[in-house]
Amino acid sequence: MRVSVAADERAGVASLVIEELRRRGHQPIAHGALAEDERDDWAWASEAAARDVAEGRAEQAIVCCWTGTGASIAANKVPGIRAALCRDGATAAGARRWNDANVLALSLRATSEGELGEILDAWFDSPPSGEPDDRANIDHIAEIDG
Protein backbone atom coordinates (compact mmCIF):
# COMPACT_ATOMS: atom_id res chain seq x y z
CA MET A 1 0.00 0.00 0.00
CA ARG A 2 1.20 3.52 -0.75
CA VAL A 3 1.23 5.57 2.46
CA SER A 4 2.08 9.25 2.41
CA VAL A 5 4.04 10.36 5.49
CA ALA A 6 4.60 13.92 6.71
CA ALA A 7 6.49 15.38 9.65
CA ASP A 8 7.55 18.89 10.49
CA GLU A 9 10.79 17.70 12.07
CA ARG A 10 12.89 14.56 12.36
CA ALA A 11 12.18 14.12 16.07
CA GLY A 12 10.55 11.37 18.07
CA VAL A 13 9.20 8.59 15.85
CA ALA A 14 9.22 10.61 12.60
CA SER A 15 11.95 8.65 10.82
CA LEU A 16 10.89 5.41 12.48
CA VAL A 17 7.45 5.68 10.82
CA ILE A 18 9.11 5.43 7.39
CA GLU A 19 11.24 2.45 8.47
CA GLU A 20 8.27 0.69 10.05
CA LEU A 21 6.09 1.15 6.96
CA ARG A 22 8.82 -0.34 4.74
CA ARG A 23 9.27 -3.25 7.15
CA ARG A 24 5.54 -3.95 6.86
CA GLY A 25 5.74 -3.96 3.06
CA HIS A 26 4.22 -0.52 2.42
CA GLN A 27 5.53 2.15 0.04
CA PRO A 28 6.07 5.40 1.98
CA ILE A 29 5.88 8.76 0.19
CA ALA A 30 7.81 11.33 2.25
CA HIS A 31 6.83 14.97 2.84
CA GLY A 32 8.01 17.88 4.95
CA ALA A 33 11.15 17.28 7.00
CA LEU A 34 11.26 13.70 5.68
CA ALA A 35 11.67 14.91 2.07
CA GLU A 36 14.60 16.67 0.45
CA ASP A 37 13.21 19.90 -0.95
CA GLU A 38 9.86 20.52 0.72
CA ARG A 39 8.68 23.07 3.24
CA ASP A 40 8.71 21.30 6.60
CA ASP A 41 6.13 23.35 8.51
CA TRP A 42 3.34 21.13 9.84
CA ALA A 43 0.50 22.81 7.91
CA TRP A 44 2.24 22.48 4.53
CA ALA A 45 3.64 19.01 5.12
CA SER A 46 0.33 17.61 6.41
CA GLU A 47 -1.60 19.17 3.56
CA ALA A 48 0.76 17.55 1.03
CA ALA A 49 0.28 14.10 2.57
CA ALA A 50 -3.50 14.52 2.77
CA ARG A 51 -3.65 15.65 -0.87
CA ASP A 52 -1.81 12.48 -1.86
CA VAL A 53 -4.72 10.52 -0.40
CA ALA A 54 -7.45 12.79 -1.73
CA GLU A 55 -5.96 12.78 -5.23
CA GLY A 56 -5.22 9.04 -5.34
CA ARG A 57 -1.41 9.03 -5.12
CA ALA A 58 -1.64 7.19 -1.77
CA GLU A 59 -4.25 5.01 -0.12
CA GLN A 60 -3.59 6.40 3.37
CA ALA A 61 -1.37 8.91 5.13
CA ILE A 62 0.37 9.43 8.44
CA VAL A 63 0.95 13.02 9.54
CA CYS A 64 3.09 14.03 12.50
CA CYS A 65 3.89 17.16 14.48
CA TRP A 66 4.92 17.81 18.08
CA THR A 67 1.40 17.26 19.50
CA GLY A 68 -0.25 15.80 16.40
CA THR A 69 -3.06 18.33 16.72
CA GLY A 70 -1.90 20.80 14.06
CA ALA A 71 -1.09 18.00 11.64
CA SER A 72 -4.60 16.55 12.04
CA ILE A 73 -6.26 19.96 11.67
CA ALA A 74 -4.33 20.72 8.46
CA ALA A 75 -5.04 17.29 6.97
CA ASN A 76 -8.75 17.57 7.77
CA LYS A 77 -8.99 20.78 5.74
CA VAL A 78 -8.47 18.74 2.55
CA PRO A 79 -11.84 17.56 1.18
CA GLY A 80 -12.33 13.82 1.50
CA ILE A 81 -9.88 13.44 4.37
CA ARG A 82 -10.82 11.98 7.71
CA ALA A 83 -7.74 12.42 9.90
CA ALA A 84 -7.68 11.02 13.42
CA LEU A 85 -5.18 11.87 16.15
CA CYS A 86 -4.43 8.55 17.82
CA ARG A 87 -2.48 8.08 21.03
CA ASP A 88 -2.99 4.31 21.37
CA GLY A 89 -3.99 1.18 19.49
CA ALA A 90 -7.60 1.15 20.69
CA THR A 91 -8.17 4.68 19.39
CA ALA A 92 -6.52 3.79 16.06
CA ALA A 93 -8.70 0.70 15.67
CA GLY A 94 -11.83 2.72 16.42
CA ALA A 95 -10.82 5.50 14.05
CA ARG A 96 -10.48 3.00 11.21
CA ARG A 97 -13.53 0.91 12.13
CA TRP A 98 -16.15 3.53 12.99
CA ASN A 99 -14.81 6.64 11.25
CA ASP A 100 -13.17 5.08 8.17
CA ALA A 101 -10.24 7.39 8.91
CA ASN A 102 -7.80 7.60 6.01
CA VAL A 103 -5.12 9.72 7.71
CA LEU A 104 -3.45 8.82 10.99
CA ALA A 105 -2.12 11.77 13.01
CA LEU A 106 0.63 11.15 15.57
CA SER A 107 2.32 13.19 18.27
CA LEU A 108 6.10 13.25 17.91
CA ARG A 109 6.32 14.20 21.60
CA ALA A 110 4.04 11.56 23.09
CA THR A 111 4.35 8.49 20.82
CA SER A 112 6.96 5.97 21.94
CA GLU A 113 8.49 3.37 19.66
CA GLY A 114 6.45 0.63 21.35
CA GLU A 115 3.22 2.61 21.05
CA LEU A 116 3.95 3.30 17.40
CA GLY A 117 4.00 -0.42 16.69
CA GLU A 118 0.72 -0.97 18.54
CA ILE A 119 -0.95 1.98 16.80
CA LEU A 120 0.18 0.82 13.35
CA ASP A 121 -0.91 -2.76 14.08
CA ALA A 122 -4.38 -1.56 15.04
CA TRP A 123 -4.59 0.93 12.16
CA PHE A 124 -3.68 -1.55 9.43
CA ASP A 125 -5.55 -4.51 10.98
CA SER A 126 -8.90 -2.70 11.42
CA PRO A 127 -11.10 -2.54 8.34
CA PRO A 128 -13.84 0.09 8.10
CA SER A 129 -17.23 -1.01 9.38
CA GLY A 130 -19.89 -1.99 6.90
CA GLU A 131 -22.71 -1.39 9.41
CA PRO A 132 -25.43 0.90 7.99
CA ASP A 133 -25.27 3.36 10.91
CA ASP A 134 -21.50 3.68 10.64
CA ARG A 135 -21.64 4.12 6.84
CA ALA A 136 -24.41 6.75 7.26
CA ASN A 137 -22.09 8.79 9.47
CA ILE A 138 -19.24 8.56 6.94
CA ASP A 139 -21.63 9.55 4.12
CA HIS A 140 -22.78 12.53 6.18
CA ILE A 141 -19.17 13.66 6.69
CA ALA A 142 -18.80 13.67 2.90
CA GLU A 143 -21.94 15.83 2.66
CA ILE A 144 -20.47 18.29 5.18
CA ASP A 145 -17.35 18.52 2.98
CA GLY A 146 -19.65 19.79 0.27
Residue numbers annotated as active site: 65
Residues 6+ apart with CB under 8 A from 67: 107, 109, 110
Contact between 99 and 84 under an 8 Å Cβ cutoff? The reply is yes
User: Is a pLDDT exceeding 80 seen at residue 78?
Assistant: yes
CA torsion 123→127→128→129, rounded to 10°? -130
Structural class in CATH, domain 2-145 = alpha beta
Closest Cα to residue 26, out of 92, 120, 128?
120
Report yes or no: 92 and 125 within 8 Å, Cβ to Cβ: no
pTM of the full structure: 0.97
pLDDT band at 70 (very low <50, low <70, confident <90, very high): very high
pLDDT in tens, 90-111: 999 999 999 999 999 999 999 9
Q: pLDDT tens digits, residue range 54-67?
A: 999 999 999 999 99
Domain ranges (residues) in the chain:
2-145
